[in-house]
Amino acid sequence: MGRLRIGGNVEKVDGRELSYKDFVERYMKPNLPVVLTGLMDGWSSCADWVTPDGLPNLPFFSSNFAQSIVQVADCGKKEFMDQKRIEMTVKEYIDHWLGIVNENCVSCLDSNKNSCSLLYLKDWHFVKEYPEYDAYTTPAFFIDDWLNQYLDSHFMHRNSDRDGAKNDVNCADYKFVYMGPKGTWTPLHADVFRSYSWSANVCGKKLWHLLPPSQSHLVFDRNLKNSVYDAYDKVSDVQFPDFKKTIWLECIQERNEIIFVPSGWYHQVCNLEDTISINHNWFNAHNLAWVWNLLLKDYHEAKEYIEDIREISDDFEGLCQRNLAANTGMNFYDFFSMIKRFALANSIQLSCLKYERNAFAKSTDKHEQLVYNLLSIQAVALSMKPVDAFTKENLKNKVVENHLAEILLEPEFIKLSMSLNQTYGMANEVLEQNYQSKMETSCLDSQNMGFLQDYSEFNVCCPEDLVKLVDHAISDHSSICNSCNLSLPSDASDLGSKLFKIYIV
Ligand SMILES: O=C(O)CCC(=O)C(=O)O
Ligand SMILES: [Fe+2]
């Protein structure tokens, strides 16, 4: 330890004095980390999971969640690019933890940590397993979460080998509890899907080292295949010649503090005390392009890996997609199905607003958000267009529901739309109720709802169709804007990946 070059510390801000808009402008859009304080008051987890002296209340876990089966990482054993994982019950885990209290285990900052077998409980889908136990409230800064919103109503890999995973809590969301004694740690990584993460310390203290994405290439070996596993260990100059050039942000995260980890930042984390944390991974319009770019990169790698069996494979593209889903967690078709539904849900909400008198006066922010979302989906769809996997031939039988009329009537889609409306419409309850009744009516009788009928005529088979859908929603919207003294910027039809805003004229 001590070998990392530190360029600065992660900024700490009182979350109660920060508006959502400021959070977006200062951290989410520019993709910069921050620690937010003051946002965990009243969480049951902060009361129930912590003893009066600020230590993890381990007996509480043994008494209330004993039989849960959890993933535990052995911090002393490397397996591929992660720590070796084992499964055990919470009771077994807590018993092990209590058993090591008197042992002298070396810490994560010790370069000789292989001799230690500290166990770290990770990726526990706690909310999924105990929905009735209200452990915490997701802070408003993090609720624009398409990943968990989608997974609350839909499943990934609908047509793949993993279809049977529907009842498997371990595949169901990206909302986790982590707990481990002092010295447990997480190896250097960038998060799943290159999503954002937030991580809240219910008790204990974590040391974070974060590397900006502009330096990601420096942690890879000469072949750009493997990345450094343990940034605190002696890193071979021969294998990783550029690692010595890295400059890190450091952060000591105390109890009751929440860190926001932006997209694509490599990070390594070490528990400086016995620690319990809650974390979510998520993405939205601001980092959707990161997710797509990672999928594209992993797709090319998956393809290259099996290139030599292309000739003998009946469905080479299908095989690439199965491998992509297995390695990355979703494939192109999962992603396309997902963004198609978000495009539709956002378009409907936008249309819905035109039926509201004075809606513009009340919810300019909501309009801006919906348009921003649609434009970010369109920008991604545009970059999907030239990709092989999305040719008509390759798409045959891959994307199931092409007619939006079918999607509009899916109960899962209605649930998704409602939850989207809640996310953006919280400030406008009247609008929300009206919208809700419209959606409910529409399920029974979509013919009567002009704006829904509009979309039900669309057929979205490929990225190009998605681009058109967004064009339709936006142009419809911009005509309304004109009559309400709102307008889109003149280059909105360009629909690139630029930043966009609705200007009040
Ligand atoms: O707390 C940890 O050990 C790791 C957390 C993490 O990597 C994250 O929140 O992205
Ligand atoms: Fe992470």
Last residue of a domain, one of 282, 298, 322: 282
Q: Which two tokens stand for residue 390?
A: 């999305």
The answer to whether the CB of 348 falls within 8 A of the CB of 451 is: yes
Q: Hey, which of 33-47, 149-163, 348-362 has the most confident mean pLDDT?
A: 33-47
Q: Which is more confident, 356 or 389? A: 389
Q: pLDDT tens across 82-136, in order?
A: 999 999 999 999 999 998 765 555 556 665 554 457 999 999 999 999 999 999 9
Span 180-196, pLDDT tens digits:
999 999 999 999 999 99
Closest of 119, 85, 81, 87 to residue 103, by C-alpha: 119
Query: Quick check: CB of 268 below 6 Å from ligand 1?
Result: no
DSSP 124-191: E-HHHH-TTS------GGG---HHHHHHHH--S-TTSGGGGGGG-GGGS-SEEEEEE-TT-EEEEE--
Mutual angle of helices 364-384 and 288-305, in 10-degree steps: 20
Place of tokens 């974390």: 279
End position of a domain, from candidates 282, 310, 327: 282
299 and 278 share one domain: no
Distance CA 361, CA 481 (A): 11
Would you say residue 435 has pLDDT above 50? no
What pLDDT is stored for residue 109 in this prediction?
60
103 or 138: which leads in pLDDT: 138
pLDDT confidence band for 409 (50 / 70 / 90): confident
- Give the pLDDT score at 107: 58
Residues 385 and 278 in one domain: no
On whether both 257 and 362 belong to a single domain, the answer is no
State yes or no: pLDDT of 35 exceeds 80.
Answer: yes
Domain count, the chain: 2
Identity at 287, one-letter amino acid code = N
Amino acid at 202: V
The pLDDT of residue 159 is 46
Residues 186 and 297 in one domain: no
Q: Whose CA is nearest to atom 10 of ligand 1?
A: 197
**Ligand 1 atom closest to Cα of residue 184:** 3
Q: Is 330 exposed, middle or buried (0-12, 13-18, 19+ CB in 10 A)?
A: buried
Question: 411 is in which domain, residue-wise?
Answer: 288-504
Q: In CATH, what number is assigned to the domain containing residue 133? A: 2.60.120.650
Residue 284 CB-density burial (10 A; 0-12 exposed, 13-18 middle, 19+ buried): buried
Same-domain pairing of 56 and 175: yes
pLDDT band at residue 160 under the 50/70/90 scheme: very low
Residues 213 and 349 in one domain: no
DSSP string, 67-92: T-EEEEEEEEEEETTEEEEEEEEHHH
Q: Which of 197, 201, 208, 280 to mutate to test the pocket of ligand 1 (most atoms within 8 A of CB)?
A: 197
pLDDT score recorded for residue 450: 63
Mean pLDDT within 58-70: 98
At which of 228, 257, 282 does a domain end? 282
Ligand 1 touching residue 191 (CB < 6 A): yes
Same domain, 305 and 252: no
Instruction: Give residue-wise pLDDT tens across range 246-267.
Output: 999 999 999 999 999 999 999 9
Same domain, 445 and 476: yes
320 plus 230 within the same structural domain: no
**Same domain assignment for residues 315 and 255:** no
pLDDT at 494 over 50: no
Mean pLDDT estimate for the chain: 85
Question: Pocket of ligand 1, candidates 277, 278, 280, 281: which has the most ligand atoms within 8 Å of its Cβ, to mutate?
Answer: 277
Query: Does residue 253 have its Cβ closer than 6 Å to ligand 1?
Result: no
Confidence bin at 216 (pLDDT 50/70/90): very high
Are 358 and 300 within one domain?
Answer: yes
Question: Which of 178, 403, 380 shows the shortest CA–CA distance to 277?
Answer: 178
CB of 83 within 6 A of ligand 1: the answer is no
Same-domain status, 133 and 194 = yes
280 C-alpha to ligand 2 centroid (Å): 10
- Which tops the pLDDT comparison, 456 or 40? 40
Region of poorest pLDDT, from 60-64, 85-89, 213-217, 313-317: 313-317
Ligand 1 atom 3: residue of nearest CA = 186
For residue 212, give both structure tokens. Answer: 């900006």
Please give the residue that has the higher pLDDT: either 476 or 320: 320
